Amino acid sequence: MTNKAEKPQDWTDRREEELCEALLQLKSAKDAHRFLVDLCTPAEIRAMADRWKVARMLAADISYRKIQEQTGVSTATVTRVARALTAGDGGYRKVLEKIGKYKEEKANA
């Protein structure tokens, strides 16, 4: 276990760090799904899946209204994800770039 001096500033809790380390061990979407099913309620998984869909749609410059119509999520959720994309910790953007969706979808918008 790391001591406080070694702890990254953005970790709010060692438990979160351990969860992230566990996620890094997953090598396939099937394994990730199994882990999420064991870890989360169906509603929590749906909420995360909705946010991820919204992030991809926002990266493709789809309007908030169209996102809400197509996904059924609230405007508050769309706004929250948009704020995270522009002023968050960069997690959405990093994954979108890694899978080639951010640059690709921006270019095709």
Average pLDDT in the 10-34 region? 91
Indicate the domain borders of the chain: 41-108
Long-range Cβ contact pairs of 69-78 (< 8 A, separation 24 or more): 77/50, 77/51, 78/54
Residue 105, pLDDT above cutoff 50: no
Q: Whole-angstrom Cα distance, residue 55 to residue 62? A: 10
Q: Whole-angstrom Cα distance, residue 107 to residue 109? A: 6
Q: Whole-angstrom Cα distance, residue 66 to residue 70? A: 6
pTM confidence score: 0.78
Q: Whole-angstrom Cα distance, residue 99 to residue 11? A: 25
Q: List pLDDT tens digits, range 56-73.
A: 999 999 999 999 999 999
